[in-house]
């Protein structure tokens, strides 16, 4: 007997769901239904500064209106901080984390100085400058003293050390495609992200850490999500490898274009699922709208 497949839709309650979320949620739901699999909903409220109960309530309302149903109880990341904390301690014990003390302003100043001098500063797949690597080798006692003195810091992954601990070839199975049409066996290049944050004082687990731990804890076999997270999969594969977690199959889908051809944003009320509902649209109209963008719902 083949294993029951487990799909999940994992929104963050920091804004209203838009058409892109509708696509992700319906794809996950329909793919699960087509293979007799399970469909889970996970609330990714790991960042307390950005998560709001009213957005969580809107998620349930919008998904129910779309005609979707999901298993109970819903996992909420804010209820599993100790679980993420344990994994963080394991990574610290492996020696692949270090405290980074540089502020955003300090990083910006370094980038600007280098670029003014005609040099190039490496950037991640989203275009953000990589964090400087100078603190990787900061003296342990000095780092401890700074932490004890209350200096603001984030725990960062030493990408070089982490990469060295993982298999030389790290890849994933892509059933959808990346922004450049990448599909099939895709080589993960987590080093493109530099020393990513895994924990900050105000958000004890980063998206990257919580997502891989939850996918494994919930037995997720299939991760179906927007292409904007395609490159992040490389970091997820690295963390799965370090923590001995299984690799799900991935399927990244195309993004729904905004009215101005730009990326849809949760802060734009006009393209929210609720706005369509208020304008008199019905769920089949939403499916037709998505199909009109060439986004296939199967
Ligand atoms: N919580 C993430 C978001 O809303 C999605 C996580 C995922 O699907 O891996 O963008």
Give the model confidence (pLDDT) of 172-228 as tens digits.
999 999 999 999 999 999 999 999 999 998 888 999 999 999 999 999 999 999 999
Average pLDDT for residues 46-74, to the nearest whole number?
97
Q: Is the pLDDT of residue 268 over 70?
A: no
Mean of pLDDT over the chain: 94
Q: Is the pLDDT of residue 269 over 90?
A: no
Q: Are 4 and 38 in contact (CB under 8 A)?
A: yes
Query: Are domains 1-79+256-297 and 80-246 of this chain identical in fold?
Result: yes
Q: Are 90 and 146 in contact (CB under 8 A)?
A: no
Q: Are 156 and 131 in contact (CB under 8 A)?
A: yes
CA atoms of 216 and 97, how far apart (whole Å): 21
Q: How confident is the model at residue 264 (pLDDT cuts 50, 70, 90)?
A: confident
Q: How far is the CA of 11 from the centre of ligand 1 (A)?
A: 5
pTM of the model: 0.95
Per-residue pLDDT at 239: 98
CA atoms of 183 and 181, how far apart (whole Å): 6
Domain chopping of the chain, boundaries: 1-79+256-297, 80-246
Mutation choice for ligand 1 from 7, 9, 12, 25, CB with most ligand atoms inside 8 A:
12
Does CATH place domain 1-79+256-297 in 3.40.50.620? yes
User: Closest residue (by CA) to atom 2 of ligand 1?
Assistant: 11
Q: Which CATH architecture has domain 80-246?
A: 3-Layer(aba) Sandwich (3.40)
Contacts 24+ apart (CB under 8 A), 130-134: 130/193, 130/194, 130/195, 131/100, 131/102, 131/107, 131/156, 131/194, 131/195, 132/102, 132/107, 133/160, 133/194, 133/195
Q: How far is the CA of 281 from the centre of ligand 1 (A)?
A: 26
User: Closest residue (by CA) to atom 7 of ligand 1?
Assistant: 10
């Amino acid at each position: 007997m083949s294993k029951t497949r487990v799909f999940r839709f994992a929104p963050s309650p920091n804004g209203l769901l838009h058409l892109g979320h509708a696509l992700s949620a319906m794809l996950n739901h329909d793919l699960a239904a087509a293979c007799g699999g399970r469909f889970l909903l996970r609330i990714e409220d790991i960042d307390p500064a950005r998560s709001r109960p009213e957005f969580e309530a809107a998620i349930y309302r919008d998904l129910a209106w779309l005609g979707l149903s999901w298993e109970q109880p819903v996992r909420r990341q804010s209820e599993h901080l100790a679980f993420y904390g344990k994994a963080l301690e394991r990574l610290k014990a492996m020696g692949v984390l270090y405290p980074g003390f540089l502020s955003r302003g300090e990083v910006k100043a370094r980038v600007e100085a280098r670029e003014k001098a005609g040099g190039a500063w490496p950037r991640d797949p989203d275009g953000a400058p990589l964090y400087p690597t100078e603190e990787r080798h900061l003296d342990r006692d000095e780092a401890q003293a700074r932490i004890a003195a209350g200096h603001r810091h984030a725990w960062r992954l030493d990408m070089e050390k982490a990469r060295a601990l993982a298999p030389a070839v790290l890849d994933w199975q892509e059933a959808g495609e990346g922004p450049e049409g990448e599909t099939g066996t895709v080589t993960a290049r987590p080093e493109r992200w530099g020393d990513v944050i895994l924990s900050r004082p105000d958000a004890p687990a980063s998206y990257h850490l919580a997502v891989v731990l939850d996918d494994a804890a919930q037995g997720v076999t299939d991760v179906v999500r927007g292409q904007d997270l395609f490159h992040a999969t490389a970091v997820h594969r690295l963390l799965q490898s370090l923590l001995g977690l299984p690799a799900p199959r991935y399927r990244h889908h195309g993004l729904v274009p905004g009215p101005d051809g730009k990326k849809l944003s949760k802060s734009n009320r006009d393209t929210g699922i609720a706005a369509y509902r208020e304008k008199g649209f019905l769920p089949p109209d939403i499916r037709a709208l998505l199909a009109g963008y060439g986004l296939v719902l199967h």
